[in-house]
Structure 1
């Protein structure tokens, strides 16, 4: 009886094991479900990757546009700075040219002052005026006795002042002025022949 019982238990265990062990069809069905689920997950992941790639592409595009705009703005700032400096320089030059006309009037007036005290007072005012010109960077050219230079002077005429003065500035009709490297007005001179 014991043996029958053991055999019955063994048969029962095998039946239970067979019932619990899925058949090949069940395994295939389970695997097909898993494949379907994995396919769906793969599809979702593919869409997510595509969205992320699209977002990355847009980000790159926006970044490139931002860099281009930054470069354009830097270029604009340089141009505006240059324009402002140029406008300032042109404004100073314009004022300096007007002041040079006043300097010419000073030179003419100086030649007509006979009284020593008046001349002294006049010289003080003239010196102060010259300092104002220097403050703008305007410097009078010292050309008398120098070799004639067509780059900085205009020859009004030539006169015979002897062999030693040939080609040299013998008289200055109007003083020339520079502002930095720029010539504001050429000196008008008489050159020895």
Structure 2
């Protein structure tokens, strides 16, 4: 019953509001007043239309700017990484030229070590980590078993040899380490 009474009260209130609006509209306005009201309404409509057009143009410009920025991010996203690797490339070229001219193995080994260190530093700077799991338990999420080696020296399922190191990029696997895994000896 309370709901029905509430609905009835709302209907009465709505009717009273409609009657009041009708009485206001019944008052006659002079043609000049009607013209002024019409002119004001047109001015407001024109003003709102200009705002809509301006807003639409701003949105289109914003969309185009974001599209350009996204294209540039894809196109030049590796710029810093490449710049870092250019030093490693230069070092490799110098080492190669030195090997052609000079056959001093000690100096070539020293240059190669420095180049590898430069490469490792560049990779670490950009979140590339090396996976070298020798002596660790086999982890199928980071390692790919190439074969099993029977041995009693280490517990079963332990990496005994790394055939190829693996790599992660910011914690995400890029390439698993290819490994040989221990198996209980017979």
Q: TM-score, normalised by structure 2?
A: 0.54
Post-superposition Cα deviations, 1:138-167, rounded to whole Å, max 9, x if no partner, equal 221232222222222222122223374322
The alignment yields a C-alpha RMSD, in angstroms, of 3.8
1:54 aligns with 2:42: yes
User: Is residue 151 of structure 2 the alignment partner of residue 161 of structure 1?
Assistant: yes
Structure-2 change in CA distance of 1:192 and 1:125 (3 Å): same
Distance 1:87 1:175, change over 3 A: farther
**Hey, what's the Cα distance between the residues in 2 that align with 1:164 and 1:72?**
65
Residue 78 of structure 1: how far off its partner (Å): 4.8
Task: Select the structure that is richer in helix.
Answer: 1
TM-score scaled to structure 1, two decimals?
0.52
Deviations 1:63-107 (A, max 9, x none): 244445545554555555455444445x47x96xx99xx9xxxxx
**Whose Rg is larger?**
1
Match of 2:174, SS?
strand
Matches of 1:73 and 1:181, distance apart in 2: 37
Conserved? CA contact 2:132–2:177, under 8 Å? no
Cα separation, partners in 2 of 1:189 and 1:68, compared to 1, 3 Å: farther
1:174 is the counterpart of 2:164: yes
